[in-house]
Amino acid sequence: MVEVGYYNGKYGPLAEMEIPMLDRACYFGDGVYDFSLAHKDKIFVIDEHIDRIYKSAAMIEIDIPYSKEEMKAILYEAISKSECEDVSVYWQVSRGTDIRNHIYPGADKKANLMIMVKPGKVAGIDKRFKLITLEDTRYLHCNIKTINLLPSVIASEKARKAGCDEAVLHRGDRVTECSHCNVSILQNGTFRTAPTDNLILPGIARAHLIKACHELGIPVDETPFTLKELMEADEVIVSSSSTLCIQATEIDGKPVGGKDPLNMDKIRNAVYKEFYDYMGI
């Protein structure tokens, strides 16, 4: 198989997999998820992704019916069934299967695990993004990696229609994050990124950018920044598990960044080197 599906112990070709209509993911989006890239037999920083999905599940009181080691073993078995060396792996846990009711199911209803494996590689180190800005209309628990993603889907489509790669979201004048990435800036030699409060997802790639900055001696400022500061930044950086560290060159049709190529290259090269070393590429 090239594209692999998994649901509660059953594997098969992704396009042929089915889930019960009464899975609470279908009618409530009642679940959490995570995502990483894999090369051959390695999933990038898998322990960090495992920890995050368990934290997200705990925040909405979903009891994952596997230990972290069992979850990891299932994920590795799933990627082993793909014929491709480079794949993306997405996994989600829903609250379970039960007749539609806003109240949580009883303790006898176990959470459901779904996995999708398909070909996927990290974005090229020379990739550049064009962005648009949109008001952040999501709810106030963005720190939970929930499968309730409709506002992000709408924002992503608006970006596509505008000929852009991503949408930068903001609440009033405060920049939060992108529709499915974190956004950070370089200003006066300092790496600035929004704090991991309830308005952004604590991105794993974001954490590795911070780690790289500390190792490179680049100061880090985890406080909110504004739209004006975004537009006037020396560099604008978009990060996620699939993009790692992408330089933005345009926002709302206006050129941005390009003023601190030395630090931009240092950070980007360090993050990509860590990825390639970890994956043995």
Q: How many Å apart are CA 91 and CA 96, to the nearest integer?
A: 15
Beta-bridged to residue 191, according to DSSP, are 186, 220
Encoded tokens for 83: 């014929």
Task: Provide CB contacts within 8 A for 163, sequence distance 6+.
Answer: 130
The count of other CB atoms within 10 Å of the CB of residue 204 is: 21
Beta-bridged to residue 113, according to DSSP, are 93
Encoded tokens for 58: 């705990």
Q: Is 83 helix (H, G, I), strand (E, B) or coil?
A: coil
Question: Active-site residue among 145, 158, 211, 228?
Answer: 145
Beta-bridged to residue 11, according to DSSP, are 6
Helix residue ranges, H only, the chain: 24-28, 46-59, 68-80, 150-161, 204-216, 227-232, 261-279
- Rounded to a whole number of angstroms, the CA Rg of the chain reads 19
Beta-bridged to residue 111, according to DSSP, are none
Angle formed by the axes of helices 46-59 and 68-80, nearest 10°: 120
CA angle 176, 34, 161 (to 5 degrees): 55
User: Is 145 an active-site residue?
Assistant: yes
Q: Which residues are catalytic?
A: 145
